[in-house]
Amino acid sequence: IHIKIFHFSDNIEVHRTANQVKKDVGDVTILINNAGIVTGKPFLQCSENELLKTMAVNVYSHFWTLKNFLPAMVQRNHGHIVTISSLAGLIGASGLVDYCTSKFANVGFAESLGLELMKDNKDGIDTTIVCPHLIHTGMFEGFTNRFDMLFPTLSPEYAASRIVKAVLTNQRLLVMPRTGYLITAVRVLLPVAAVKRLTKFIGGLECMDGFVGRQKMK
């Protein structure tokens, strides 16, 4: 099993690197798409270039890696595709319009791809969608959470171990922490007005007010 991690949005660079990987180590059987950036700005404060970059890194990069590695999986009917989305791909938040858009797209992409593989009887190719709350990497530095007990910041080690377990057990959807399953179920069941009030109550309107993001080392 070969595992390779990509963070590219440039399709030409992805194609070049993918060809080198296939030449050096052979066909990839586990693909983990984990590209992600965040502007942390209200929508009208985001430049067009920032919006395009968010979609290029967070969404289009998934297209390019799958275009390169999925054909071999299909041919052999063997493989596993892991799509790292976010809890922000299941429920929206103020100050994260572009980010939530891209992460919702990740979920739709992975779900639809899984259905295409099912239609083609490629039952040897498994898919896992991962939707974590904040992971302590510095990417969302300044993000505030009104209910830390319900939605704690996850350590990278914990998140990685849960993802590995999900792959080994062919888990289709992994939401971290587990309270995330509840909030997404409530979102579907409640009226839109009630969801908005709930989002306000849990701090979804002000959560990005203190955002500073990952700070460059001096």
Annotated catalytic residues are: 99
Give the 3-state DSSP-derived string for 93-107, with helices as H, strands as E and coil as C. CCCCHHHHHHHHHHH
CA 157 from centroid of its chain's CA atoms: 17
**Residue (of 100, 109, 64, 126) closest to 187 by Cα position:** 100
Q: How many CA atoms lie within 13 A of 212 on its CB side?
A: 6
CA 60 from centroid of its chain's CA atoms: 12
Dihedral pair phi/psi, residue 211, rounded to 5°? -65, 135
What tokens appear for 122 in the block? 């490629």
CA dist 30 to 20, 52, 70, 163, Å?
A: 16, 28, 10, 12
For residue 132, the 8-state DSSP code is E
For residue 91, the 8-state DSSP code is S
Q: Find the length of the chain.
A: 218
